[in-house]
Amino acid sequence: MPRNAFLALMVAAFLWLPARPQAPPGARAIEIWHGDRQRVGHLGDAQDDFNLMGRVRPWREVDTLSWKLGQGGEFPLSFRAHRRLVNDGDFNADIPVLRLEPGPNLVTITARFLDGAELTRTVTVVREAGARPLPVRIRWKEVRDPQDVGQYVDGWWGIGEAGLRTRQTGYDRVFLIGERSWRDYEVRTSITIHRVDPETSPVSGGNGVGVILRFAGHATG
């Protein structure tokens, strides 16, 4: 039995749901995955950060990309493909949960382009106080928003006919279920492989899928 652990569903390269572009090709845009209003804490404490993910386009025209919380200072965002970022233009803001005030928080993503133009997109992140006591049973066909039952960490996710699926394959697509207070539990689940990518990125180590325990968040640096 695992101890002092919670559950993370890690999909490396093969559960795939077709992605629908959110902006016309070539148009300058900041796309936010999973909606302009998201929440954290309603299912307890899963990890130190809240992850806000999306894509900036066209990335070749971007000089800098950053995020800020409220009227606070800006923090730089990577937008070139490497490890957690599958494609150029993708971004993932690791926002410390302790920086979020109870209730609604405004997070602004700012893209500054090489020609001096600037584009912003503001998202509301609601910090709630909740818990996720055991036992937990998830019926995916009854879930409308995956954030109602877990927490996005990496990747663009969605609900398909077969349940939770990633819209983008790549290195360590991670979705968390549970909280850090969980002790001594058993995991029962089923995983369907819809497609296997013939090639993976150099950092992935090959295709893989499974459940990982004691996920403590991604290391920086």
- pLDDT tens string 59-85: 999 999 999 999 999 999 999 998 889
From first CA to last CA, the distance across the chain in angstroms is 32
Q: By C-alpha distance, which of 220, 23, 203 is closest to 111?
A: 23
Mean model confidence pLDDT for the chain:
86
Query: Which one has a higher pLDDT value, 219 or 205?
Result: 205
User: Is the dihedral angle over the CA atoms 19, 84, 140, 145 positive or is it negative?
Assistant: negative
The pLDDT value given to residue 20: 56
pLDDT in tens, 104-147: 999 999 999 999 999 999 999 999 999 999 999 999 989 999 99
CA-to-CA distance for 134 and 136, rounded, in angstroms?
5
pLDDT in tens, 188-214: 988 888 878 887 777 677 777 888 887
Q: Is the pLDDT reported for residue 21 higher than 80?
A: no
Q: Is the pLDDT reported for residue 176 higher than 50?
A: yes
The pLDDT value given to residue 95: 97
The verdict on whether omega for the bond into residue 21 sits within 30 degrees of 0, i.e. cis, is: no
Q: Is the pLDDT reported for residue 2 higher than 50?
A: no
- Whole-structure pTM value: 0.85
The pLDDT value given to residue 5: 43
Q: Is the pLDDT reported for residue 12 higher than 50?
A: no
The pLDDT value given to residue 115: 96
Q: By C-alpha distance, which of 170, 214, 168 is closest to 82?
A: 170
